[in-house]
Structure 1
Amino acid sequence: MKYGMLIVDDEYLVRQGIRETIDWSTIGVEIVGEAVNGKQGLEAALRLKPDIIFTDIRMPVMDGLQMIEKLLEFDYDGAIIIYSGYQDFEYARKALEFGVVTYLLKPFNNDDLLEKVREALEKLAEKRQKSKIIGQFKRNLPLLKERLFQEMLTEPLTPSLLEELKAIELTPPEQGVIIRGEASDACAEELESALKAMVERILKLLKPYQTIQQVFDESFVIITACIDSEFLCTKIDQLLLMHQSNSNVKFSIQISSVYDNFLALKEAYEETQALSRNALFVAVNTVATSDLKIHPYKQLVKDVMKIISEEYHRKLTVREVAEKIYVSESHLMHEFKENVGKTFNECLTEYRIMKAKEFLLKGSYRVNEVAVMVGYQDVKYFGQVFKEMVGMTPSQFLAENNEKI
């Protein structure tokens, strides 16, 4: 490998002597340019990008130290050798503070110069190797973080894994909860943007607490020392209302119960996964906490909820839905009450009101339009049902949440 060297000195004979009295090829060095002062040297260095700059200190227009300061502003990463007489040594000491400079005292002979250049090349090679390793580490860090984060959630948190997590500043709180979110109903670019935005909003809530997070392709996981589930559920529900006013991406967010030690992390994460699998409502923004009883819904219930999510906007009866899935009305009603703890009509109404809140927050529809969109032809009745479920009229809900948004 050849190293390029730039000579900066205002004396022609000095430059000529350095250039012609040493066979630089023996140590893999090639003289790529010369300059008569620091200003020209700076311009030449930026243009030629030499590996080594050999420069005098005292020069007209711009001296060697001024040139070095300017070079460092441009992130010059090569080696610099400065030389001067004894009387300039204290002045030259300033250059040594930059940490990129080797000093050579005049007068010097060719052997001295060659030795200094060899030393400079060794240091340069070592520095560049470190920079290469650091660069590779930084490029691989996101993948490493994702792998270790996933391992922390799915494997026992051993002392060695904990040390690895500490090394990349991913140490979880010893006590806390896991917040897991899944995004859907959008293209990859929209999902990525929505996931990052939601995580940023939640992290603002959690600023006073030790918190770590990881965003995956279609989900995110936040581990926080905040253990107030009621606070988390209320605030995240508010964030979802804000989110759905300007996005079509749907979020299903789960909050685990409190874990008390590192070994319980895996169990807390599995709890959020179970909450996700147990989600009753689809295609709407939801928050689920560990207060919910986790049990698998029967396929019949899932089939009915899918029909509700697709056809909530029109008149929908138990008889019609029962016929669609080839069961009797009585069997459907019994299974719903038994498995969900609610009637078919209660679930339909709850879903319609969830969708109504979403449409109202879009800001594009009047209350009477939203009523029809979610299956109510009677606007007055829609208002009564909405108030009963939300605690306020549609207009009050809209006014209150517009202030927050």
Structure 2
Amino acid sequence: MWKILIIDDDFQVLEGMQKSIPWESIDAEFVGEACDGAEGLVMAERTKPDIIITDIYMPIMNGLEMIEKLREMNYEGEIIILSGYSDFQYARQALRLQVNDYLSKPVTLEELSEVLARVIKELENKELKKLEQEEIHSRLLMYEPFMEKEWLKSVVTGTFNKAIAAEQLKRSEIDFWLQRSHLVMGIELLNSVRTAGLSLIDWNLFRFAYANIIREVLSEDWPESAFVELHSHHAAIIFNIDPLIPADEARRLIGAIGERIAACIYTYLQLSVRIGLGTLKTNWLEISNSTEEAFLELLQQNIVPPQDKESSLTFDDSGAIRPIKFYQELAEAIVYAKEEKAQDIIEAYFNQMESMPAITPAYLQYLCAELWTIFAYSLHSAGIVLDDLFPGMALKQEIAQIQTQTQVKDWLRSKIHVITTSRHWHENSKHKEAVDFMIQYAHDHYAEEFGLEDMAKKLYLSRNYLNQIFKKATGETFTNYTIRVRMKKAQALLAEGKYLIYEVAEKVGYKSVPYFSSIFKKYTGINPSEAGKTS
């Protein structure tokens, strides 16, 4: 709720303004008044208003002097001048003091309402921008490990923006990468009897356990490395290599580490993993190429018989067949329900595949199975169970029938359409969670001072958006709902007969007894004193 302070030496103006401003409809409250600039300064410091409406010509200290002192005190709210003086000199000085509007008396109710609506809109925009900046700053401070993790994933998968990634590298503590060569190990956690039928939650527990094992091995055998979890059952390790170590020797040592990782995971978890290695790259911008090579090696192990050399898939710097980047980009598009973007990603990938004559049905079926697993894992992280969107689906039989790229594209497009268009229930559930939180908060904190902007900060949603979904869900604004909660509690307290009116006002979140009394009468039809007598 926006706080408004009115400063004018004319008592009739003060009283008229209080009565004429549509407080409820603009989500604002009257927090005080003053009769001169000096008193206005004191009231502004005490009440911290969002908007000040002030006259210019007043005793002791005029309005312009007061505004100048407010600006010196770094007052960031909006100021509206309402004056009988329309002198150009005053207006020019007001402009210099960053006054939001300058109205000449007498002002109509329509003019005042229009100006207040516009000023409040500007305040909302300013508040939202401030909230976004605070959130960004907070995340930068609190989630530096997360930022590094996301940076690493983008570098491994090749989904980064070169300029942004270079800047991030320059600011980080991992700039030693610039003096190292790099090689990526691809890791695939294999399905087995032990993992068959596992829920995604249990699957995540296995992933957490095997990630810990890998990190422990790396800390002992190759500290200058980074473990990166990818989609579903895939992960990658970036090995940063001292240029003094020959490439063949580095590859041999890293291969041995891969064997140890596989042995440890099997020993402690009875899970099997498959390891693939990319080639060594001298520039960190080429790390994603090493990733693709590592996973193409895994792919060969999965679907290509050793004797069928002509079926081998290839990778080159032109970007042909980059499954890891494709997986990552498509998974992100699915999670954010961007159907059009997902279709574009599919089209671009299969356009690349058209130049690869050796693509076999085995690879296409493998690709479909991989993508389905990735979709399931990614959507689960967003709170959606993929199988619930496709009840009764015979997945293995559908995939087994796929023989051509066109069939893959059609299959993917149909599944993605269902996923992205079925997410409205998820959004509704998220809206419900936000509304439930706000309702519960109003009941738990009615004695405290809070408003829609506080909810926006807690829920990381814009003030206007929250207001819309709350009103749609409950039929009233959050402000009205909070007032209703407070009034019902006030009625109950007054009925007890143990508290004075000012005590009840404080207990339900009002510091001003007159304001509490006026709100109480509006909602109940009687004064607080009468409510106490009738109990």
The TM-score, its normalising length taken from structure 2, stands at: 0.32
Over alpha carbons, which structure has the higher Rg?
1
Which one has the bigger helix percentage?
2
